[in-house]
Structure 1
Amino acid sequence: MEATRRFTADAGHELRTPLTSLGMTIETLQRNPTLPAPQRTRALEAMGAEHHRITALLTGLQTLARGDAHALPDRVPVDLGALLHEAVSHAARRHPTTYRLNGSTPATLTGWPVGLRLAVDNLLDNAALHGRPDGTVDIQLTHEAGTVRITVSDDGPGIPPDQRHAMKERFTRGPRTRAPGSGLGLALVEQQAHLHHGTLHLGQSPAGGLQATLSLPAADEPGPPGEPMADASS
């Protein structure tokens, strides 16, 4: 029963993002029946991509539910820079937030693309929902000493230090938040960090908001199974 409950909650949370994007694209096509062919083609391609993403998410969530997140599907090389650029582009269409991708270095790791995208999407959505209205979210990708780090910083009220660890647990919401949500976002990021032998560190951003750092072993230095790497960002 617990696995079923978790799957239902996770599925509802994760499907909201691609379904919202899909709905916006459909609405655009409905409002613009004379849309030029090139734009219509791009819109249809975007719809196809979101459909594929929904299917992949369902498959992935079912896989995680069956094993209670103790095993990943087959790992493949993942270009984290390309994944991050695509995720930021989609997030900018979902939120009235300014996303700034502040330079990134080439970074490849061996992992599960669906799970990594799930983690990045949740970091970007969390920053937009809990930052200032119409605020700014800064994103940075770095690769140093065998570790790849994605850092997402918002300009919201932040989370008190003594409550940050609890925010990684399912169904936990910050005491200062008024944004809608189920309290699953950071828990899913934490889950994916662990499955990829990495860590999620929550701290304070330069603007006083939340800074989330996802640290993962690069492709040439995979972590040992079941032993998350040390969090050098803390």
Structure 2
Amino acid sequence: MRRFKNEKYNKLATVENVFKAEKSDDDSHKITIYGDIGESWWGESTSAKDIEDVLNKITSGTINLHLNSPGGDVFDGIAIYNQLKNHASKVIVHVDGLAASAASIIAMAADELIMNTGSMMMIHEASTFAWGNKADFQKALNALEGIDKSIVDIYMTRFQGERSEIETMLQGETWFTSDEAVDVGLADRVNQTVEEDDDDDVDPEEFKNSVLNRIRANKGQQPKQPDSTQQSNTILNRFKRQAN
């Protein structure tokens, strides 16, 4: 399983692979990339070749790319970034859950980058395995330093701070909430539109207060919470759908 420096985020590293491209009703295409980027020894993944094959067939004016990925091969990530940047279509990237590592590089190709509510972005230094003598390790080190410079070049096309700051953020494996990604310039906006989900958990205290407010409102009493019947009914309906 992929491991992050920040242990509390390691549970996010396992994302079921989904890769598909579909024509929308309007002049746009939707591409979904969930899971690992690049060829994987451990399971399904999405490679730069997969993306190239899809992009060669797209003539729509807009591509909506939906991302939820812990990352993967940095060179595949850079290749996909350049494929998207060089495509004639307008590219809108939607971070549905996670855009980490190589996936965050892909996200930088967006003409418009939208962080969906609750999504996150992570950037870090490139990593590799090395075996051999000190000369072999030095070659690996030199290669990693060169890759990191290339990665910083990509982030700097959006980042609003200094180059030294993004370099330090890479070294520390930095995680951004959706709002934070927008604040530093790595994303354009947060999509605050959240569709009501029948599987949403209802907080017990919230449910109790909604019942009390509805009963008090029916009795003509002043509710102790700021809203009244309308919000109470909404919460009750959510609870009833879950119970069914």
- The higher-RCO structure (CA 8 Å, 6+ apart) is 1
Same fold (TM over 0.5): no
Q: Which has the higher helix share?
A: 1
- Normalised by the size of structure 2, how large is the TM-score? 0.26
- Normalised by the size of structure 1, how large is the TM-score? 0.27
